[in-house]
Every structure is written in C-alpha cells, then in structure tokens.
Amino acid sequence: MVIARTPLRKRLNNLYWEYRLGISTRGIIEIDHPDAHHYATMLYSTIQQVIAFLALDPSDVFIDIGSGKGRVLCCAARLKVRKVIGVDLSEDLCSYARRNVARMRERKSTVEVHQGMAEHFDYSNGTVFTLFNPFGAVTLDNVLRKIAADLGPNKSRIRIAYANPEYDHVFRSHPWLERYEYWDRKSLRMEHSVSFYKARL
C-alpha cells in the first residue's frame, strides 16, 4: 500500500496558519452516518487558492456544506463578506468550529455554525458554496435539489466549489448547473482536484 505523505513544506505551512489564526482544525474523525464521509480538512494553501478563485465580494454569503472544525469558515471569514455559514451534522465538530471562530485572529466577517443535516438546511441566502467531498451521491443529489429549490430564480449568480469531486456525475445530472472550471490534481500537482460550478443561464 502506498501512503501519500503531505510534503514537509505544506505541513509546516498548515502549522503556520493554525498558529497565525489561533485555531485548531487538524485530525481525521469518523462520522457515524451511512452516507457521511469522515472529517478531514484541506491544506490551507488549497483552501486559499479556492477562495481566491471564487472572488468573494462584500455582498456574498459563503456557505461551507459539511463544515467540520471550521478551517474553511475561518479562511473565508478573513475576507469581508455579508456572512460566513457552516453546516455540519456532528454536534462535536460544530462545537470545535464555534470555538475556533470565537478565538480566531484576523476575522472580518460574521460566522454562524449550524448543526444539522445538509439536505435540510435553508440555503436561500447563499451565493457561494464549498464542499470538500462531505458525503455520498444520494445526499449530494438531495443537497443540490434543496439549493435549487431554496434559491429559485436567485440562483443565477451562485458559485459552487467541489473539492475532491468524487461525485461530479451528480452535478452533471442537474441541468441547471454547469462546470466552468476544473483543477486537475495531477497536472497541477495539487492535493485534490476541484470542480467549480455555476448556474447555467
């Protein structure tokens, strides 16, 4: 078995950002739900590249779906947006995330962390969504249906970043969405591939 190790430089960069923001988000935690993937987070460098590409502006409401301990939330909250929101089914992980948000340095935006199932969340205020492969195809399909239903005609300006896009085919089954950018892990030597979607106009 080949175990992929994160290069030392990237691990040091993660430690640097945990220290700089004053938060603690590392680790791998199993989640007790049949369609949920375990908790893990992305490299800070990956998250920062994704957020930069999404070009957030002060009117955006940023939602990390399956927000875990809140690393993505804290990175987004360093920018001035209308609101940053996390949703996660695990009460423990939500407590971690709230603690991290409360103590983070460099926060410029309000952050809310909601405990609950992503497929039942109210997405009507969201404009930018991130998912780090949080669950299987069935839940993903339900979440995309919920986003479409909640946003209705307001979905025209949304962007969705889907990291480690194991179920891209689910996005393809939603004709209201189109993939407008794809980062290939191998050719770009990144940790994960990332698919970016927007509403088809």
Ligand X SMILES: C[S@@+](CC[C@H](N)C(=O)[O-])C[C@H]1O[C@@H](n2cnc3c(N)ncnc32)[C@H](O)[C@@H]1O
Q: Tokens representing 19? A: 């220290």
| Interface with ligand X (CB under 6 A), residue from 36, 50, 144, 170 | 36
Q: Is 50 in the site for ligand X (CB under 6 A)?
A: no
Q: Tokens representing 49? A: 């590249």
56: nearest Cα among 87, 80, 72: 80
Per-residue binding letters, 122-151, with ligand X (x by CB under 6 A): ----------xxxx---x------------
Which is nearer to ligand X, 115 or 178 (by Cβ)?
A: 115
Give, as one character, the DSSP assignment of residue 38: P
- Identify whether the C-beta of residue 83 lies closer than 8 Å to the C-beta of residue 110: yes
Helix H or strand E encompassing 61? strand 61-65
Residues that bind ligand X (rule: CB under 6 A) add up to a total of 27
Per-residue binding letters, 88-127, with ligand X (x by CB under 6 A): xxx--x-----------------------xxx--------
Which is nearer to ligand X, 94 or 199 (by Cβ)?
A: 94
Output the DSSP codes for 5-59: PPPHHHHHHHHHHHHHHT------B---STTBPPB----HHHHHHHHHHHT--TT
CA 147 to centroid of chain Cα atoms: 15
Q: Tokens representing 21? A: 């923001």
| Interface with ligand X (CB under 6 A), residue from 42, 77, 151, 194 | 42
Stretch that binds ligand X, among 34-42, 54-62, 145-153, 166-174 (CB under 6 A): 34-42
Per-residue binding letters, 51-70, with ligand X (x by CB under 6 A): -------------x-xxx--
CA distance 89 to 114: 8
Helix H or strand E encompassing 21? helix 8-21
Q: Is 165 in the site for ligand X (CB under 6 A)?
A: no
CA distance 121 to 115: 9
Minimum distance from residue 166 beta carbon to ligand X (Å): 11
Minimum distance from residue 72 beta carbon to ligand X (Å): 5
Give the phi and the psi of residue 36 in degrees, each rounded to 5: -95, 145
Q: Is 85 in the site for ligand X (CB under 6 A)?
A: no
Contacts with ligand X, residue ranges (CB under 6 A): 31, 33, 36-37, 39-42, 64, 66-68, 71-72, 87-90, 93, 117-119, 132-135, 139
